[in-house]
Each structure stands twice: as structure tokens, then as C-alpha cells.
Amino acid sequence: MPDWMENLRCSFCHKAAAEVSKLIAGPGVHICDQCIGLCNEILESERLASTTEPRLPAWESMTDEQILEHLPKIAAVQAQVDDNLRDWVGHLRGRDVSWERIGSSLGMTRQSAWERFRTDS
């Protein structure tokens, strides 16, 4: 496995690529085969139940402790997405795309994009 893959994790369960059979990449996120299986089970059970009632956010049924246990995983996923975004911006800069265009695409000023994504190398 290449070195860069060692840091990849499922954005849903946060398992490392080495812990799952397959890790599928999307723009800035990854999902493992186990989470896809769980999603398929949920979709099938909801299809069979065919309820139209709105669902409460997950935290509505969780205790404070359960929510606190999820925070580190959520923060880790955010860091993974931020790293991926930084890579995409770096690739654009390698193509000489201006900070103006990058900032505009991200809904921020040229200066904000430069401050957030510049590299000192």
C-alpha cells in the first residue's frame, strides 16, 4: 500500500483503509464497504417501512456522553476533508490558477484563500 493511503480513513466510521476491504473516494470524503453495507440496510428497511414522517437529527436521541464520544471522530473527518481540500488547491496552484479564481470558487476573497492555503515552500 502506498504511503499516502495509510492516512486515508472512512469519513463515516473513521476506520483506516487497512481495516476495511474497500475504501471508495469521493470529492474530499471516503466511505468503506462496511458503511456502504450499513447504508444499504438502512435504505432497504426504510423502503419497507415507507414512512413519510420526518426524522429527528441523530443527536436528538443521544445522551450528552454519546455526543461527546462522537466529537473526536467528527473532528478527524473535518481534518481529513481540510487536508484533501488543501491538496486540490495545491494542484490548482501548480497549474497557475490564480488565488482570485480559487477564492471565488470557494466563496471567499483572494486574500482569504491565499492566507488559508498558501504554502511556504
- Write out the binding residues: 10, 13, 32, 35
- Phi first, then psi: what are they for 23, rounded to 5°? -125, 115
How far from 111 is each of 71, 78, 94, 106, CA to CA, in Å? Answer: 31, 23, 18, 12
Mark the binding-site residues for Zn(2+), compressed into ranges: 10, 13, 32, 35
Residue 29: CA count within 13 A, CB half-sphere: 8
